[in-house]
């Protein structure tokens, strides 16, 4: 019996030692995606124009790196806050920690090189070599055309500098260790020709990271079918919003025409549209309709063509539950 206890204790000690070594490895580990490139991005009118379109209407950098006014429908950005950051993504939205968007105006990035920004956006690795949690969808951004990333950097370099400091993001244990294993080297692609509607639409869906919201998500992991909808977002009052099914199933976009899809976005940038004031307890959404509404009709049409080409996923989504239900 004593011998058995002795062997059990030795075994447990070995297991504890291995766990300790593993934890020490994670504590000391920094992502290995290579050094930041030595690059200087020329800030031309063409780059800034392309970057502004991407950052405000497709990649939606300004959806997170601005302050949204949720007293109005769909929470449009407050004037004068583009790039200033400060938006909070925490446990109420299903995140394993509290993550706060940083100031990306020139005042907030004055000590960052273009190469360091490029590496952060495409791999999730900061200038000090540490990793960020993919609230900013760098896994998607690392798959698109590097020229588009450079245009976004040129655009944010052209913003008015605004001084603003925010708390540092904090991941919960063990995510604060797991996060170090997430970054990987970018796998870039070339933007397809807009004439290839499905391929171009797929590119735009990746750039817009539609799958991040429109795929069911629990405890820090995606658990649903890609673009099948159902991800929950909780509002401070306790109401719950769920993302729509974007696949061509009858429970998704199966009955939608291309014109209907495009018009659903474009109505939010019609000259007659005024954002509706939202009363407490009324339906609200985090879907940034007004920002996406600024997309070109041909780009929205390409996204529709791509979504229509997907395998249908049957998933009935209850889009909204008021608080107390």
DSSP-derived 3-state class of residue 33: coil
- Strand 97-100 to strand 170-171: parallel, antiparallel, or no bridges (unpaired)? antiparallel
* Cα angle, residue 294 at apex, residues 292 and 296 outer, rounded to 5°: 105
For residue 263, the model assigns a pLDDT of: 97
Least confident range from 17-31, 128-142, 205-219, 249-263: namely 17-31
- Under the banding of pLDDT at 50, 70 and 90, the label for residue 6 is low
Query: Taking a C-beta distance cutoff of 8 angstroms, is the pair 108, 85 a contact?
Result: yes
CB neighbourhood size of 220 (10 A): 15
**What digits encode the pLDDT tens for the residues 102-116?**
999 999 999 999 999
pTM for the predicted model, two decimal places: 0.89
For residue 302, the model assigns a pLDDT of: 98
- Does pLDDT of 324 surpass 80? no
pLDDT higher at 317 or 21: 317
Q: What is the mean pLDDT of the chain?
A: 90
Residue 58: both structure tokens together: 């497709």
For residue 217, the model assigns a pLDDT of: 80
- Does pLDDT of 271 surpass 90? no
Q: E strands within the chain?
A: 88-89, 97-100, 170-171, 217-218, 221-222, 232-234, 240-242, 320-321
Residue 92: both structure tokens together: 């109420």
């Amino acid at each position: 019996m004593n011998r058995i206890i002795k062997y059990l204790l030795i075994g447990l000690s070995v297991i504890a030692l291995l766990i300790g070594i593993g934890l020490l490895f994670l504590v000391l580990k920094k992502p290995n995606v290579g050094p930041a490139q030595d690059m200087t991005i020329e800030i031309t009118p063409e780059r800034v124009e392309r970057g502004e379109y991407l950052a405000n209407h497709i990649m939606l950098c300004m959806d997170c790196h601005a302050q949204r006014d949720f007293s109005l429908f769909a929470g449009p950005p407050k004037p004068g806050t583009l790039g200033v950051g400060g938006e909070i993504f925490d446990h109420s939205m299903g995140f394993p920690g509290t993550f706060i968007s940083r100031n990306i105006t020139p005042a907030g990035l004055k000590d960052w090189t273009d190469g360091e920004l490029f590496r952060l956006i495409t791999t999730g690795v900061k200038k000090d070599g540490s990793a960020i949690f993919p609230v900013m969808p760098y896994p998607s951004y690392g798959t698109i055309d590097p020229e588009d990333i450079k245009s976004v950097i040129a655009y944010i370099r052209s913003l008015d500098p605004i001084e603003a400091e925010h708390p540092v993001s904090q991941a919960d244990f063990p995510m604060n260790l797991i996060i170090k294993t997430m970054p990987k080297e970018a796998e870039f692609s070339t933007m397809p020709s807009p004439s290839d509607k499905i391929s171009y639409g797929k590119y735009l869906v990746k750039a817009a990271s539609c799958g991040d919201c429109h795929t069911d998500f629990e405890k820090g992991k995606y658990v649903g079918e890609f673009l099948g909808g159902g991800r929950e977002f909780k509002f401070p009052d306790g109401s719950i919003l769920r993302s729509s099914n974007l696949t061509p199933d009858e429970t998704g976009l199966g009955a939608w025409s291309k014109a209907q899809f495009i018009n659903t976005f474009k109505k939010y940038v019609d000259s007659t549209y005024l954002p509706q004031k939202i009363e407490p307890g009324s339906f609200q959404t985090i879907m940034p309709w007004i920002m996406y509404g600024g997309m070109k009709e041909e780009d929205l049409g390409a996204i529709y063509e791509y979504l229509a080409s997907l395998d249908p996923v049957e998933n009935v989504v209850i889009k909204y539950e008021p608080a107390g239900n």
